[in-house]
Amino acid sequence: MSQICVTIGRGRHASLLAEWKAAAEAGAQLVELRIDCLRRDPDLKRILANRLTPVVFTIRRGADGGLWRGDEDKRRKLIREAIVMGVEYVDLEVDTSKEIPRPKFGKTQRIVSYHNFQKTPAKIEEVAEEIAKGDPDVTKIACLARTHGDSSRMLAFASKTQTPTIALCMGPLGQFTRILGAKFGAPFTYAGFNPDLTFAPGMPRLGEMKSDYHYDEIDRDTEVYAVIGDPIGHSLSPAIHNAAFRHLGLNKVLVPIQIPDGVLKESLAALSWLDIKGMSVTIPHKEAIVPLLQAMDKAVERTGSCNTVLKQDGKLVGHNTDYRAALVSLERALGGSPEDENSALMDKQVLLLGAGGVARSIAFGISRRGAGVTICNRDEERGVKLAEEVGCKAINWSMRAGTPCDIIINATPVGMHPNVDDSPVPAAAFKPNMVVFDTVYRPENTLFLKLGQTHECVTITGVDMFVYQAALQFRYYTGKDAPIDLMREVVRKKLNPAKDD
């Protein structure tokens, strides 16, 4: 099984040792000590005297993304000293590995590493051939991903190598390679520990790798799922689905893949070899993915929006679980049920803020239930276009506070973390007994909802909708009923952590 190697680097010896102790207590089984971060001469006897975990000993030069300020001879002397002291691993750059040959005695393993913070080389195999001249026990290649083609090539290379290899892409487009390395034989991956320190772009933290991805349980047989969008770092889909997968003993993992707007088709093509079994689709791709589907359910056909994709017999099949989840949340808040012959939404007047993928799903759903819908969007042209497709009214954004309605639904990102002090409508828009529904779930209790509560409105949080749509997705992914109480518990814990990891 692949391990998580926790990277620790501090300016003072005492701080380094204290953080190492905290990481070990948090479950770290392997720690990379970034000795180059120390602001004075390293005292290896003090540092390595009482090892709390096995060690990867690293002194990274500035040219390779490190902080070493001393001369090269001194750096290499410290590496040799660490080998004599029997550290489990030393990290050697390609040129350094040729100057520090393997000693005749001792058990220290050699990680020969290549870092490129500008790009991913076109021929990764040639980089590996050069690394091989340094007599590695472990090959490490870490490069910046500029496209998903880069990330895909990196994992494809890892899947073919015979030498134990850590092959990952740095940056937001490559974060998922740090998780899926375990599927392709990586002996370990790297994670941070101190939330205030980042050693490489896209590096996750120990708690995230353990609790959100169950990294140490991923193996070659693990089936891959994904959530795609931009931004994607805020998504709770990995935490909620991976907890459910493990709860039912399913060897599956869902990873976040950040795909910028405008490159969806080529990104999915580059990643197709990974055989991603299913995808949760979020902003900005819910509409853009529809033309790429080979089949779709009626909700997708009706709304032109898709938030769930399955790969079946090589075809992409689209579903819309936002549609169902929003209707259930609203009808329950109104005292009704989706099974009622006459919907509780019948003849209700709804002000819908937004015109994106979620807004489309909700607009079509509630209009079919007999509600009167008024769409209001900052981009008025887009709002009018959606209103014409649905067959409802559209108004200018400036009119939103004075529009009479029974229900206000926020389907915009306004109020989403980190802009938690924003509301899509002012306090004057709220009236007692009005239903106020926010599709934003991070934070759960947005300013929009707080204003509604202050004015004695019935409120529906984004968590209600998010958990229910995720449970429907889980059914598509697995054919099994989702552990919905567990999913809700995971979401609430992520949104309201008792303390930081």
Q: Are 316 and 294 in contact (CB under 8 A)?
A: yes
**Residues 362, 169: Cα–Cα separation, whole Å:** 38
Q: Where would I find the H helices in 49-93?
A: 72-84
Tokens of 344: 């509780």
Task: State the span(s) of the chain assigned CATH 3.40.50.720.
Answer: 344-460
* 160 contacts: CB under 8 Å, gap ≥ 6: none
Label the pairing between strands 30-34 and 407-410.
unpaired
How many CA atoms lie within 13 Å of 352's alpha carbon, on the beta-carbon side? 33
How is residue 74 written in tokens? 């001194």
Q: What is the mean pLDDT of residues 217-245?
A: 96
> What pLDDT is recorded for position 341?
83
User: What whole-number distance in Å separates Cα of residue 354 and Cα of residue 386?
Assistant: 10
Beta-carbon contacts of residue 294 (< 8 Å; ≥ 6 apart): 315, 316, 317
Q: pTM of the full predicted structure?
A: 0.91
Question: What pLDDT was estimated at residue 117?
Answer: 94
Q: Domain 3-211 in CATH: superfamily?
A: Aldolase class I (3.20.20.70)
Considering the chain, tell me which residue range(s) the CATH 3.40.50.10860 domain(s) occupy: 222-319+463-501
Asked if 157 and 167 touch (Cβ cutoff 8 Å), the reply is yes
Quickly list DSSP for 186-250: -SEEEEB--TT--SSTT--BHHHHHHTT-GGG--TTPEEEEEEESS-TT--HHHHHHHHHHHTT-
Tokens 């015109």 appear where?
355
pLDDT of residue 189: 97
Please say whether the beta carbons of 201 and 144 come within 8 A: yes
The domain made up of 344-460 is a member of CATH 3.40.50.720:
yes
C-alpha to C-alpha distance for 495 and 498, rounded to whole angstroms: 10
H or E element in which residue 143 lies: strand 138-144
Give the pLDDT confidence of 157-176 residue by residue, as tens digits. Answer: 999 999 999 999 999 999 99
Q: Note the CATH architecture for domain 222-319+463-501.
A: 3-Layer(aba) Sandwich (3.40)
Catalytic residue among 36, 91, 140, 230: 140
Confidence check: pLDDT of 497 > 50: yes
Split at pLDDT 50, 70, 90, the class of 340 is confident
Distance CA(299)–CA(118), nearest Å, equals: 43
- Which H/E stretch holds residue 299? helix 298-303
Answer whether 150's CB lies under 8 Å from 178's CB.
no
3-state secondary structure of 436: strand
Q: What is the mean pLDDT of the chain?
A: 95
The average pLDDT across 81-100 equals 96
pLDDT tens digits for 412-426?
999 988 889 999 999
Torsion over CA: 420, 421, 422, 425 (sign): positive
Place of tokens 């989702």: 482
Confidence of residue 498 (pLDDT cuts 50, 70, 90): low
> Is pLDDT above 90 for 76?
yes
Q: Which of 233, 416, 445, 435 is nearest to 326 (CA)?
A: 435
Distance from C-alpha of 324 to C-alpha of 327, rounded to nearest angstrom: 5
Predicted pLDDT at 500: 43
Measured distance CA(108)–CA(98) in Å, rounded: 16
Active site residue 417: no
Q: Quick check: is 45 catalytic?
A: no
CA atoms of 284 and 379, how far apart (whole Å)? 15
H helix and E strand count, the chain: 17, 20
Q: 140 an active-site residue?
A: yes
Q: Where, residue-wise, is CATH 3.20.20.70 in the chain?
A: 3-211
| Amino acid (one-letter) located at 375 | I
> Does the structure show a pLDDT above 90 at 344?
yes
Greatest distance between any 2 Cα atoms in the chain: 84
Selecting among 64, 230, 322, 464, the annotated active-site residue is: 322
Using CA atoms, how far residue 112 sits from 28, 66, 187, 329, 389, in Å, is: 22, 16, 14, 54, 58
Q: Say if residue 499's pLDDT is above 60.
A: no
Catalytic residue among 148, 183, 286, 319: 286
Q: In whole angstroms, what is the distance from residue 295 CA to residue 282 CA? A: 19
C-alpha 70: how far from its chain's center?
38
Torsion of CA 39, 60, 51, 16, to 10 degrees: 30
CA distance 416 to 420: 6
Whether the predicted pLDDT of 104 surpasses 90: no
Choose, from 36, 64, 115, 252, the residue flagged as catalytic. Answer: 115
